[in-house]
Amino acid sequence: MVETLLPSRFQSHLQKLDPKRRLLTSTIASHKTLLFAFLWIAAFASVFLWQRPSYIGGYVVGPVAGGRFTVFGKVKPLQPVPRLRPAVFDLKEFGGVGDGVAVNTEAFERAVVEISKLGGGGGGQLNVPPGRWLTAPFNLTSHMTLFLAEDCEILGVEDEKFWPLMPPLPSYGYGRERPGPRYGSLIHGQNLKDVVITGHNGTINGQGQSWWKKHQRRLLNNTRGPLVQIMWSSDIVIANVTLRDSPFWTLHPYDCKNVTIRNVTILAPVTGAPNTDGIDPDSCEDMVIEDCYISTGDDAIAIKSGWDQFGIAYGRPSTNILIRNLIVRSVISAGVSIGSEMSGGISNVTIENLLIWNSRRGVRIKTAQGRGGYIKNITYKNVTLDNVRVGIVIKTDYNEHADDNYDRKAYPTLSGFSFSGIHGQGVRVPVRIHGSEQIPVRNVTFRDMSVGLTYKKKHIFQCSFVKGRVIGSIFPRPCENFDVYDEEGRLVKPATESTVPDIDYDI
């Protein structure tokens, strides 16, 4: 599948085009206009693809002008690097060599030490110039900007012996995949303040292929490391970069406050790249994720807050999170997930202006007995589903536990879910909400929903142990568990108890 890396173009599309008008707009367009548009796009695309390397399955196939973008054979000049901090350094000043062969770990470490000496007086900026900069994992420091120039690519070394081992996360108790220590991230920071990773869309590449193969063959004794992990930190900005081929989760902010992630492209093969989540906010507070394009081998976004008894004891929720203007794809899992590790609680999350395409699931909430905690006050607005098997999922039996010592009586509470402006086409099952007697799903609201279906089973709205309401007319028709109100707030049809439908879990 050719990956088009044009997130800003799609953002404009999401913000300006009313999803309900797309079909009407395409219908009234004249045949001549459509033919002209098709020919023009085809001609432009042929020039663009001829000038660019091919991206097939997320991988560059052929070089063009040393990796530089060209227009009709002329090399586009590189953008000048802005000065964002009082002190500015270049990685080459510390012995860096960007040939893709020399290992630059010491150069990065020396540069970070130099910036750490500056203290809080505005900090320092480390420019990574065009080139391929191979490195083992390294740490960031406070009051630092890591600037990735155009045509810059930081490459993670593939041999795991160069990746340090770290203690398990306190809210997980174990490595997420294996007991004991876990591998650290390629770019790491903890107990920091005022950190920026930005650039002219330079790339951080984890070269995760060898990690994925070893994991699948069970050759690793420890949990794989993320690509970028920032822990116990505040005032973090990650913007205008590409993150790709992470060994494990791609971007993992852990117990952080005041985090902004903007205009970031995150890529991994959609199959064969296990657990390469895009962004995993974990016990984070006051966070914005916006204007991003994510296509990975697992959830594009997964909001978390700890695992079973360890997350309950750690007690740090994820709260006040805004996710907007995203295009996401997940063939294996979901576009945006909440859980299943949510034992510290998750609340006050708004997800708006979201396009999910060619995915197994659209948005998903997952939890289980033993998690404890809560998921509440979650709002979804203006969500478009394009060729998605199951649109909206709430699942309460995701029984994957850290160990067998979890509290069987620790039932999570789920309440306060609002879905409005949900539109799309090519959806097999629009809604599947599967609560249980011990974990009912309460206060679910649907409004302004119209989803084109491809699956003609009887129960296209699949519900059990759920209570909620529908405001106005929606399509498809909801299950009997919902009160139906008109737009003026008058009760039209009260909810009735219904039998639990047969659920096709293979969808």
The one-character DSSP state at 478 is P
Q: Is there a contact between 33 and 437 (Cβ–Cβ < 8 Å)?
A: no
Nearby residues of 507 by Cβ (< 8 Å), 6 or more positions away: 389, 390, 428, 429, 455
Dihedral sign, Cα of residue 16, residue 269, residue 299, residue 318: negative
The residue assigned the tokens 């995915």 is 359
Q: What number of H helices and E strands is found in the chain?
A: 6, 35
Residue 463's contacts (CB-CB under 8 Å, 6 or more residues apart) are 431, 432, 433, 434, 478, 479, 481, 482, 498, 501
436 by Cβ neighbours in 10 Å (0-12 / 13-18 / 19+) ranks as middle
* Distance from C-alpha of 189 to C-alpha of 253, rounded to nearest angstrom: 10
Identify whether 18 is a catalytic site residue: no
- Is the distance from CB of 341 to CB of 311 less than 8 angstroms? yes
DSSP string, 409-466: T---EEEEEEEEEEEEEEESEEEEEE--SSS-EEEEEEEEEEEEES---S-SEEEESE
| Dist CA 209 CA 227 (whole Å) | 13
Nearest-angstrom CA–CA distance, 92 and 95 = 5
3-state DSSP helix/strand/coil percent for the chain, to nearest 5? Answer: 15, 45, 40
Spatial CB neighbours of 276, under 8 Å, sequence gap ≥ 6: 208, 212, 245, 246, 248, 249, 250, 268, 296, 297, 298
Q: Who contacts 81 (Cβ-Cβ below 8 Å, separation ≥6)? A: 127, 147, 149, 200
SS3 310: helix
Distance CA 319, CA 281 (A): 10
**SS3 letters across 135-155:** ECCEECCCCEEEEECCCEEEE
* Active-site residue identified among 245, 298, 299, 386: 298
Question: How many Å apart are CA 490 and CA 503, to the nearest integer?
Answer: 32
Residues shown for the chain: 507
Judge whether 58 and 269 are in contact, CB under 8 Å. Answer: yes
Q: Which residues are catalytic?
A: 298
